[in-house]
Structure 1
């Protein structure tokens, strides 16, 4: 309870933001220091810095747009909270609703963990089917494939469409592999 009361998770998450900010300030200072000495070296360091921080910013924003993205880092939660607040309160639609006579009740702002959980729950059947089809296609052990077939029979009925798509993909993979094996010439071992 003390960890929650003193907001330790928030402070730990902010440490990465502070460390990244300090690194950015240091590298900007390094670039400004190198410009009078050697412009070419300053340009190279500046390009590397720009590319690195652009990749860092992209990894911060991807979980906001795609909740199932595995590149979550602590600042992503804060960016999502800001995004949810802005889209919830400052969007042009909410300004229109505020001026109209009928003001609809707004949905509560959700945190990134809740959005991720709802996305995972919505795609759980497809994920199960994909995992089972991957296991079936990657295993050469007949007993594992038999267990996979038994597990497929326990899938919910809502996953039938996904199962048919995966089955088509597996059958095409086996047909392609069989054609490649049959098209190769038979090589006999030479006894000499």
Structure 2
């Protein structure tokens, strides 16, 4: 889903430098600003549609998995809940056994002592197993219900923003409804749904252990080991993004763990009476999310960033196998090295590395691009543009040695 937001900041007030002699009709003022608000509507519509579409795709996948999982879980529950009540078949066998013993005693002329009836006791493993599985089923169905509601809320959101054609009215409806999404934490609700499904799945695996204990302790032990491994992997996947912002793995609990770690560091600094550090961490806790920290680490100047930039450009040069695809990159080289006020030094390392790197061989690619002008397959305008691009790129690269 899109991670940025389109919230405006602050409030502005304007005062006119001249007095108005005639009052303008409100509808005329709004019509005059229609083009201004149409730009906002265009951008907001693209952002909101991407957001709602990402929610819809997530909910569709969750609904499919929740439906299949609930059906499988129901089959297990049908078998397990029968152990909570006495088996009528066992009672019938016991009654027939007593009748047989009584008939045998009467034929032999011996007295028959009626044995004491033993009351049925539900096994503890059955209680634990069924409790976990019914909780799992309830969470799975709740997950499906909330996912269905989220899809409906998303469609309703888009429908209400398209009810009017006037740009200024649509703009104000967009803004009003978007801030409603932020106010009522719609994104948090969307992130809770996978957590419900994950919890339901772990409860199912936990219920397998008491279900298998009366059958085979070996199977129960294997299942317990599997559950421990899965739980450990899940915890590691939850913690990795908090330690490494570039980690692609995360769970619905990763953001919560991040906030807990930041709060712990803040309280630790307060306890150590390090007020400056505590003040810094309090601001970080209030304003820095995992996404913001990732963006900062990716964009701050560093040796790692320079190496990443070089790898990205090297991959780009290798990926552009066709001359037509390579030409826009060659066009961009002079602007990366020279600006309107002189040399730009920020990209010198990357450009020089592309020239000397054996895999990129930028100078050789430019030479082959220039040679393609001799094939006679290009129009005069395109041939002239390609020659000029190659000349400019070679001149800019040559200026790096100065």
Q: Would you call these one fold, judging by a TM-score over 0.5? A: yes
Match of 2:240 in 1: 62
**CA offset digits 1:77-131 (Å, max 9, x no partner):** 11111111112222xx542225xxxx32621112212212212222666544322
- Give aligned pairs, total: 167
Shift of 1:62: 1.4
**CA offset digits 1:140-180 (Å, max 9, x no partner):** 33444454344455446334445556666x41688xxxxxx
Match of 1:184 in 2: none
Is 1:158 the counterpart of 2:346? The answer is yes
Match of 1:48 in 2: 226
Match of 1:10 in 2: 188
* Alpha carbons of structure 1 residues 171 and 12: separation in structure 2 relative to 1, 3 Å: same
- How far, CA to CA, are the matches of 2:244 and 2:323 in structure 1? 37
Match of 1:31 in 2: 209
Is 1:133 the counterpart of 2:314? The answer is yes
- How far, CA to CA, are the matches of 1:165 and 1:88 in structure 2? 43
Shift of 1:137: 2.3
Aligned with 1:113 (options 277, 291, 301) = 291
Match of 1:97 in 2: 273
Q: RMSD in angstroms over aligned alpha carbons?
A: 3.0
Shift of 1:61: 1.4
Query: What stretches of structure 1 of length at least 5 have no aligned partner?
Result: 175-192
* Alpha carbons of structure 1 residues 45 and 163: separation in structure 2 relative to 1, 3 Å: farther
Secondary structure in structure 1 of the residue aligned to 2:246: coil
- Decide whether the 8 Å contact of 2:238 with 2:250 is kept in 1: yes
Larger Rg: 2
Secondary structure in structure 1 of the residue aligned to 2:247: coil
Secondary structure in structure 2 of the residue aligned to 1:148: helix
- How far, CA to CA, are the matches of 2:353 and 2:187 in structure 1? 42
**CA offset digits 1:17-66 (Å, max 9, x no partner):** 23222322221121122123112222332333233332222222111111
- Decide whether the 8 Å contact of 1:59 with 1:72 is kept in 2: yes
Query: What stretches of structure 2 of length at least 5 have no aligned partner?
Result: 1-178, 337-343, 362-402
